[in-house]
Amino acid sequence: MATRVRNDLFDPRYGYQRGRSWCVFGFWHVTKFLFFGSFPWPSPIKVALLRAFGANVGESVVIRPRANIHSPWRLSVDHHAWIGEEVLILNFEPVAIGKHACVSQRSFLCTGNHDFRDPSMPYRNRPITIGDGAWVGAMCFVAPGVTVHDDAVIRAGSIVLKDVPVGVIAAGNPCEPVGVRWKDDQLLTELMREDGRIAEQSTRDERDPRAEAGG
């Protein structure tokens, strides 16, 4: 059966605006090559460069080597946030990372998408928000339009396709709530137990090293 997909009809101008001239975009890629590679340039230098290209970056932000940011002018990183090694931020749309949040090694924040039900595969991009104090573990994928709310934890290797509530531990493919981050949050724990989303979490997580987010 012949495919109905027509990639030759894809229009990169529909649903995506670069936000800067080709000259600025090219200069950013040169800067990224020089300062966001393997050499461990101090974070304040990288923060200053991101700000120079239009990013909104707070104080005491840590950016590890090989962090790959597509469009700094669509990036907001609040105070004391951490971005780990080889994190990829494909921000065709805005990405916001809250204060004291952490995005661990090799995680992928992907705002880009295509409408696969349209033969011409037009863009269907959506922003991403990582809330204050949230932790996205190593090698996670965060899909377009997702909000990881404040203090939520995403365990390593998870595929996050929908919003993660405040203070929840989530894991898996697709990522689902499996526990509560703060053990003194009895109300949230009881609500999740009543909803059938966690059971006998506390002692299991303390024993099992796989329960860590990683990174």
Asked whether residue 141 is domain-assigned, the answer is yes
Asked whether residue 206 is domain-assigned, the answer is no
Q: Write down the pLDDT at residue 202.
A: 45
Q: Write down the pLDDT at residue 83.
A: 98
Asked whether residue 13 is domain-assigned, the answer is yes
* Number of domains the chain contains: 1
Q: Write down the pLDDT at residue 213.
A: 67
Gap between the Cα atoms of 8 and 69, Å rounded:
28
Asked whether residue 165 is domain-assigned, the answer is yes
Asked whether residue 43 is domain-assigned, the answer is yes
Asked whether residue 208 is domain-assigned, the answer is no
The token pair at 211 is 């329960």
Q: Write down the pLDDT at residue 12.
A: 92
Enumerate residues 6+ apart whose C-beta is below 8 A from 213: 104, 135, 136, 137, 138, 153, 154, 155, 156
- The β-bridge partners of 169 are 153, 179
Gap between the Cα atoms of 1 and 4, Å rounded:
9
Q: Write down the pLDDT at residue 215.
A: 63
Gap between the Cα atoms of 17 and 112, Å rounded:
12
In this prediction the pTM is 0.89
CATH number of the domain enclosing 87: 2.160.10.10
Q: Write down the pLDDT at residue 192.
A: 67
Domain that holds residue 157: 7-199
Asked whether residue 205 is domain-assigned, the answer is no
Asked whether residue 78 is domain-assigned, the answer is yes
- The β-bridge partners of 130 are 97, 148
Each of the 215 residues of the chain gets a pLDDT tens digit; together they read: 899 999 999 999 999 999 999 999 999 999 999 999 999 999 999 999 999 999 999 999 999 999 999 999 999 999 999 999 999 999 999 999 999 999 999 999 999 999 999 999 999 999 999 999 999 999 999 999 999 999 999 999 999 999 999 999 999 999 999 999 998 876 666 666 666 666 445 444 544 555 566 66
